[in-house]
Amino acid sequence: MLLSKSCVYGLRAALFLANQEEGKFVPIRHMSDKLEISFHFLTKILQQLTAEGILESFKGPNGGVRLVKKGNEIPLIEIVMAIDGPQLLTECALGLPGCGVQNPCPLHDKWAETRDSIRDMLENSTLTELVHKGKQENLRLTSESGFDILFND
Protein backbone atom coordinates (compact mmCIF):
# COMPACT_ATOMS: atom_id res chain seq x y z
CA MET A 1 0.00 0.00 0.00
CA LEU A 2 1.12 3.46 -0.81
CA LEU A 3 -0.20 4.97 2.41
CA SER A 4 -0.55 3.25 5.76
CA LYS A 5 -3.98 2.60 7.17
CA SER A 6 -3.37 5.21 9.85
CA CYS A 7 -2.55 7.74 7.18
CA VAL A 8 -5.66 6.97 5.20
CA TYR A 9 -7.80 7.35 8.30
CA GLY A 10 -6.04 10.59 9.11
CA LEU A 11 -6.77 11.90 5.64
CA ARG A 12 -10.42 10.93 5.84
CA ALA A 13 -10.77 12.61 9.19
CA ALA A 14 -9.03 15.72 7.91
CA LEU A 15 -11.40 15.90 4.95
CA PHE A 16 -14.28 15.49 7.34
CA LEU A 17 -13.05 18.35 9.48
CA ALA A 18 -12.51 20.58 6.47
CA ASN A 19 -16.17 20.07 5.68
CA GLN A 20 -17.29 21.23 9.13
CA GLU A 21 -18.02 24.76 10.29
CA GLU A 22 -14.68 26.50 10.60
CA GLY A 23 -13.30 26.80 14.11
CA LYS A 24 -15.80 24.42 15.64
CA PHE A 25 -14.43 21.62 17.79
CA VAL A 26 -15.69 18.25 16.59
CA PRO A 27 -15.68 15.32 19.01
CA ILE A 28 -13.58 12.41 17.82
CA ARG A 29 -16.42 10.08 18.70
CA HIS A 30 -18.65 11.82 16.19
CA MET A 31 -16.06 11.42 13.49
CA SER A 32 -15.32 7.81 14.33
CA ASP A 33 -19.02 7.05 14.06
CA LYS A 34 -19.49 8.87 10.78
CA LEU A 35 -16.32 7.55 9.21
CA GLU A 36 -16.69 4.03 10.57
CA ILE A 37 -13.29 4.00 12.17
CA SER A 38 -12.56 2.58 15.62
CA PHE A 39 -12.82 5.45 18.08
CA HIS A 40 -9.68 4.60 20.00
CA PHE A 41 -7.65 4.04 16.89
CA LEU A 42 -8.79 7.29 15.36
CA THR A 43 -8.02 9.07 18.61
CA LYS A 44 -4.47 7.83 18.51
CA ILE A 45 -4.05 8.98 14.94
CA LEU A 46 -5.53 12.41 15.57
CA GLN A 47 -3.23 12.79 18.55
CA GLN A 48 -0.35 12.60 16.14
CA LEU A 49 -1.89 15.31 14.00
CA THR A 50 -2.39 17.41 17.11
CA ALA A 51 1.20 16.85 18.17
CA GLU A 52 2.32 17.96 14.71
CA GLY A 53 0.33 21.17 15.00
CA ILE A 54 -2.14 20.32 12.27
CA LEU A 55 -5.03 19.97 14.69
CA GLU A 56 -5.98 21.68 17.93
CA SER A 57 -7.82 19.77 20.60
CA PHE A 58 -9.97 20.79 23.48
CA LYS A 59 -11.12 18.61 26.36
CA GLY A 60 -14.47 18.34 28.00
CA PRO A 61 -18.01 19.05 26.87
CA ASN A 62 -18.15 20.97 23.59
CA GLY A 63 -14.58 19.90 23.13
CA GLY A 64 -13.10 17.92 20.32
CA VAL A 65 -10.66 18.61 17.59
CA ARG A 66 -10.36 21.16 14.78
CA LEU A 67 -8.00 22.23 12.03
CA VAL A 68 -5.47 24.86 13.01
CA LYS A 69 -5.29 26.33 9.52
CA LYS A 70 -8.07 26.72 7.02
CA GLY A 71 -8.72 23.71 4.85
CA ASN A 72 -7.61 25.51 1.71
CA GLU A 73 -4.21 26.08 3.26
CA ILE A 74 -3.62 22.42 4.00
CA PRO A 75 -2.34 20.27 1.17
CA LEU A 76 -2.70 16.53 1.64
CA ILE A 77 1.04 16.15 1.89
CA GLU A 78 1.00 17.75 5.34
CA ILE A 79 -1.15 15.01 6.72
CA VAL A 80 0.80 12.28 5.01
CA MET A 81 4.11 13.63 6.29
CA ALA A 82 2.73 13.94 9.81
CA ILE A 83 1.59 10.33 9.91
CA ASP A 84 3.69 8.30 7.50
CA GLY A 85 6.75 10.53 7.49
CA PRO A 86 8.92 11.39 4.54
CA GLN A 87 9.84 7.83 3.55
CA LEU A 88 7.27 7.81 0.77
CA LEU A 89 9.14 10.55 -1.04
CA THR A 90 12.64 9.45 -0.20
CA GLU A 91 12.42 5.69 -0.32
CA CYS A 92 13.10 3.85 -3.48
CA ALA A 93 11.23 1.29 -5.49
CA LEU A 94 13.96 -1.28 -5.07
CA GLY A 95 14.38 -0.51 -1.41
CA LEU A 96 18.13 -0.12 -1.54
CA PRO A 97 19.61 1.73 1.38
CA GLY A 98 21.60 4.83 0.71
CA CYS A 99 20.10 5.33 -2.71
CA GLY A 100 20.56 8.68 -4.30
CA VAL A 101 21.23 10.61 -7.44
CA GLN A 102 24.97 10.14 -7.10
CA ASN A 103 24.72 6.36 -7.00
CA PRO A 104 21.35 5.34 -8.35
CA CYS A 105 20.04 1.87 -9.04
CA PRO A 106 18.83 1.01 -12.54
CA LEU A 107 15.25 1.86 -11.77
CA HIS A 108 16.02 5.31 -10.54
CA ASP A 109 14.94 7.52 -13.44
CA LYS A 110 11.54 5.98 -13.94
CA TRP A 111 10.87 5.69 -10.27
CA ALA A 112 11.87 9.31 -9.67
CA GLU A 113 9.30 10.37 -12.23
CA THR A 114 6.63 8.33 -10.56
CA ARG A 115 7.57 9.60 -7.16
CA ASP A 116 7.36 13.15 -8.43
CA SER A 117 3.87 12.50 -9.67
CA ILE A 118 2.90 11.22 -6.25
CA ARG A 119 4.39 14.27 -4.59
CA ASP A 120 2.60 16.54 -7.04
CA MET A 121 -0.70 14.92 -6.24
CA LEU A 122 -0.22 15.35 -2.52
CA GLU A 123 1.19 18.86 -2.70
CA ASN A 124 -1.30 20.27 -5.14
CA SER A 125 -4.51 19.07 -3.55
CA THR A 126 -5.84 20.88 -0.53
CA LEU A 127 -8.46 19.54 1.82
CA THR A 128 -10.95 22.21 0.77
CA GLU A 129 -10.39 21.48 -2.88
CA LEU A 130 -11.31 17.85 -2.39
CA VAL A 131 -14.27 18.68 -0.21
CA HIS A 132 -15.63 21.01 -2.89
CA LYS A 133 -15.13 18.40 -5.51
CA GLY A 134 -16.89 15.93 -3.26
CA LYS A 135 -19.85 18.23 -2.77
CA GLN A 136 -20.18 19.11 -6.41
CA GLU A 137 -20.16 15.54 -7.55
CA ASN A 138 -21.96 14.11 -4.57
CA LEU A 139 -19.12 11.80 -3.72
CA ARG A 140 -18.73 9.61 -0.71
CA LEU A 141 -16.01 9.25 1.86
CA THR A 142 -17.15 6.12 3.63
CA SER A 143 -17.47 2.58 2.50
CA GLU A 144 -19.94 1.30 -0.04
CA SER A 145 -21.83 -0.64 2.54
CA GLY A 146 -22.14 2.34 4.83
CA PHE A 147 -24.35 4.46 2.57
CA ASP A 148 -23.13 7.30 4.68
CA ILE A 149 -22.46 10.14 2.32
CA LEU A 150 -20.14 12.59 3.93
CA PHE A 151 -20.61 15.57 1.76
CA ASN A 152 -23.96 17.30 1.68
CA ASP A 153 -25.21 15.50 4.74
Partner DNA sequence: ATATTTTAAGACAAAAGAGTCTCAAAAACC
Partner DNA sequence: GGTTTTTGAGACTCTTTTGTCTTAAAATAT
AA identity, residue 98:
G
Restricted to residues 27-56, the positions that interact with DNA (CB under 7 A) are: 27-29, 38, 40-41, 43-44, 46-47, 50-51
* Residue 8 CA to its chain's centroid (Å): 6
CB 123 within 8 A of CB 75: yes
Binding mask 33-72 for ligand SF4 (x = CB under 6 A): ----------------------------------------
Q: CA 88 to CA 142: how far, in whole Å?
A: 25
Binding mask 28-67 for its own copies (x = CB under 8 A): ----------------------------------------
118 binds ligand SF4 (CB under 6 A): no
Give, rounded to a whole angstrom, the gap between the first and last alpha carbons of the chain: 30
CB of 55 or CB of 77, closer to DNA: 55
Q: CA 52 to CA 78: how far, in whole Å?
A: 9
15 binds its own copies (CB under 8 A): yes
C-alpha atoms less than 13 angstroms from C-alpha of 53 in its C-beta half-sphere: 0
Residues of this chain that bind ligand SF4 (CB under 6 A)? 92-94, 96, 99, 104-105, 107-108, 111-112
